[in-house]
């Protein structure tokens, strides 16, 4: 068994090496918190006559493809990866950054039946180069947008109205045109592609992630002197599928190997009452130029180990959210969630959405994280708790998302100035999550005694 584990570990390591050679997004390092990542095609650095004389790469044009294991009719239950949100769908278009200045692409879409959507432009795996939040996407004449503000939705306006987004090659002006993103070749490294990611969060009731917001994916056109050409007709299926698919495959195989290696993990061992294990510390992800970050979100995460033992308890005050109870006309956030992820393979195991979270009498959510075999019988709504699987990896990373905060919500993750991540607990107060390890016996004793989640958390933190 030990030799099998070593062999599997070597295979995982080999995949990491292949991944580092074939895609810069993987070279960022195992476990880097790069929520909402998206696959990239293989590097195509060979000179090409179509590259506008730059000699820097092929002028690829790849139409929509699902990212990060987003479900499709043919693959409804695949592995989701990239520290993503399971209630979201991720779709991507790849374009060479080396089309001539003045080249234009046009995206025609409909406002989805969902709580959020956005378009973002990336230089391959690197930081975002352009961003259109849903509330900034202006409707076409005769249509209306239900995305009325940063943190709100206008429920009186039905989704389905039409909009048009433009992609223009050239330097962005001081005042960019509405609904427009700009591609400037100098911002791209040799052989990299411009990645446009379309995200849809929290589809309405009855609409699954597989339905991409209840409407067809937007249509992308290249505008030419002789007329519009659909991106689908320009799509080089061989290159695009091979390039995108090879990285998808690496991610999925790494996650599958991790699941096999850790299917019967050595841990967790029982926690001794003393010494009490050091509590996991949450941190604010504080680099807006990090790998494929979603500009709609700020992320708070912790690193967990199974070695200390049975359970992890996580607790924070729950913000109000758009369309939720007590939201009023100024909800604190558009959306929030907690997802449990594998630290190394970046697989997303499970999420708790704001709409599904159990909120105690003090306004806090309380989550128990454990492997299924260690799940306490009292980690249920009746006792004020929700439960998340730890997953199969030895190390894990729970992520709390705050999306599109009200300017009046002064304790959101967005209220923490860039570069001041260590100040997040002080600025956010009770909205900043805390965690502790806990023995199953301690948790059961205090929940059986009818104590509140706050009291149970305190007892676990004290190891008593």
What's the CATH number where 292 sits? Answer: 2.60.120
Does a structural domain hold residue 341? yes
> Given its phi and psi angles, is residue 309 left (phi above 0), alpha (psi -120 to 50 degrees) or beta?
left
Looking at the structure, do residues 437 and 335 belong to the same domain, yes or no?
A: yes
Tokens of 450: 């009818």
Does a structural domain hold residue 260? no
Looking at the structure, do residues 240 and 274 belong to the same domain, yes or no?
A: no
Element (H, E) at 454: helix 453-462
Tokens of 419: 């570069």
pLDDT mean over 325-353: 94
How does DSSP assign 98-128, residue by residue?
TSPTT-EEEEEEE--SEEEEEEEEEETTS-E
Residues in the chain: 464
Give the end of a domain, one of 219, 249, 279: 249
> 271-278: which pairs have CB atoms within 8 A and are 24 or more residues apart?
271/308, 271/309, 271/310, 271/437, 271/438, 271/439, 271/463, 273/439, 273/442, 273/463, 273/464, 274/463, 275/463, 276/437, 276/461, 276/462, 276/463, 277/308, 277/309, 277/437
- Collect all residues with Cβ–Cβ distance below 8 Å to 141 and sequence separation of at least 6: none
Give the end of a domain, one of 249, 284, 317: 249
Looking at the structure, do residues 70 and 43 belong to the same domain, yes or no?
A: yes
Looking at the structure, do residues 289 and 236 belong to the same domain, yes or no?
A: no
Looking at the structure, do residues 113 and 170 belong to the same domain, yes or no?
A: yes
If you average pLDDT over every residue of the chain, what do you get?
A: 84
Give the end of a domain, one of 214, 249, 284: 249
Q: What digits encode the pLDDT tens for the residues 360-377? A: 999 999 999 999 989 999
Looking at the structure, do residues 271 and 240 belong to the same domain, yes or no?
A: no
pLDDT mean over 409-435: 97
Which residue range(s) make up the domain with 313? 267-462
User: Tell me, what's the pLDDT at 28?
Assistant: 31
pLDDT mean over 109-134: 89
Looking at the structure, do residues 343 and 416 belong to the same domain, yes or no?
A: yes
Does a structural domain hold residue 389? yes
**Alpha carbon of residue 51 to chain centroid:** 32
Looking at the structure, do residues 204 and 64 belong to the same domain, yes or no?
A: yes
Total domains in the fold of the chain:
2
How big is the CA angle at 377 (ends 373 and 381), to the nearest 5 degrees? 120
pLDDT mean over 192-216: 94
- Percent of the chain scored above 70 by pLDDT? 82
Does a structural domain hold residue 258? no
CA–CA gap between residue 143 and residue 393 (Å, rounded): 47
Looking at the structure, do residues 392 and 449 belong to the same domain, yes or no?
A: yes
CA–CA gap between residue 145 and residue 189 (Å, rounded): 36
CA–CA gap between residue 248 and residue 256 (Å, rounded): 12
> Highest-confidence range of 235-239, 255-259, 409-413, by mean pLDDT?
409-413
Across 231-310, where does the E strand assignment appear? Answer: 283-284, 297-301, 304-305
Tokens of 337: 């969630």
Looking at the structure, do residues 222 and 298 belong to the same domain, yes or no?
A: no
CA–CA gap between residue 429 and residue 354 (Å, rounded): 19
How big is the CA angle at 71 (ends 65 and 74), to the nearest 5 degrees? 85
Looking at the structure, do residues 389 and 456 belong to the same domain, yes or no?
A: yes
pLDDT mean over 100-123: 96
Does a structural domain hold residue 261? no
User: Tell me, what's the pLDDT at 53?
Assistant: 36
Does a structural domain hold residue 254? no
Using alpha carbons, select from 37, 206, 182 the residue that is nearest to residue 121.
182
Does a structural domain hold residue 262? no
Cβ contact 118:131 at 8 Å: yes
Looking at the structure, do residues 216 and 280 belong to the same domain, yes or no?
A: no
User: Tell me, what's the pLDDT at 410?
Assistant: 98
Does a structural domain hold residue 310? yes
Cβ contact 163:139 at 8 Å: yes
**pTM of structure:** 0.86
């Amino acid at each position: 068994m030990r030799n099998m584990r070593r062999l599997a570990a070597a295979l995982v390591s080999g995949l990491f090496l292949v991944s580092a050679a074939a895609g810069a997004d993987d070279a960022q390092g195992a476990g880097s918190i790069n929520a909402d990542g998206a696959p990239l095609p293989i590097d195509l650095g060979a000179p090409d006559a179509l590259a506008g004389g730059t000699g820097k790469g092929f002028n690829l044009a790849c139409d929509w493809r699902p990212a990060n294991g987003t479900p499709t009719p043919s693959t409804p239950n695949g592995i989701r990866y990239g520290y993503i949100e399971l209630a979201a769908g991720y779709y991507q278009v790849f374009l060479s950054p080396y089309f001539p200045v003045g080249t234009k692409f046009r995206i025609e879409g409909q406002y989805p039946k969902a709580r959020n959507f956005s378009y973002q432009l990336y230089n391959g795996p690197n930081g975002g180069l352009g961003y259109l939040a849903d509330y900034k996407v202006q409707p076409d004449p005769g249509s209306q947008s239900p995305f009325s503000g940063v943190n709100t939705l206008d429920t009186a306006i039905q989704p389905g109205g039409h909009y048009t987004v433009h992609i223009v090659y050239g330097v962005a002006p001081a005042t960019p045109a509405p609904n427009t993103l700009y591609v400037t070749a100098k911002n791209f490294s040799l052989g990299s592609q411009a990645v446009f990611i379309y995200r849809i969060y929290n589809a309405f009731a009855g609409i699954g992630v597989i339905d991409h917001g209840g409407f067809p994916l937007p249509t992308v056109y290249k505008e030419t002197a002789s007329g519009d050409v659909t991106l689908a007709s320009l799509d080089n299926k061989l290159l695009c599928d091979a390039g995108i698919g090879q990285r998808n495959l690496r991610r999925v195989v790494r996650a599958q190997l991790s699941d096999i290696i850790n299917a019967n993990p050595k841990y967790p061992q029982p926690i001794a009452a003393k010494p009490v294990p050091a509590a996991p510390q949450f941190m604010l992800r504080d680099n807006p130029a990090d790998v494929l970050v979603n500009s709609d979100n700020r992320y708070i995460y912790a690193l967990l180990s199974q070695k200390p033992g049975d359970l992890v308890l996580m607790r924070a005050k729950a913000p109000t959210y758009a369309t939720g109870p007590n939201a009023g006309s100024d909800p604190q956030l558009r959306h929030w969630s907690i997802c449990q992820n594998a630290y190394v393979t970046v697989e997303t195991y499970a999420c708790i959405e704001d709409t599904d979270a159990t909120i105690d009498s003090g306004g806090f959510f309380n989550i128990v994280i454990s492997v299924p075999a260690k799940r306490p019988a009292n980690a249920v709504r009746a006792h004020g708790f929700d439960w998340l699987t730890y997953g199969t990896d030895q190390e894990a990373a729970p992520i709390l998302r705050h999306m599109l905060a009200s300017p009046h919500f002064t304790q959101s993750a967005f209220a923490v100035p860039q570069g001041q991540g260590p100040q997040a607990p002080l600025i956010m107060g009770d909205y900043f999550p805390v965690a502790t390890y806990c023995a199953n016996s301690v948790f059961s004793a205090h929940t059986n005694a009818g104590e509140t989640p706050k009291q149970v958390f305190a007892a676990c933190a004290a190891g008593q």
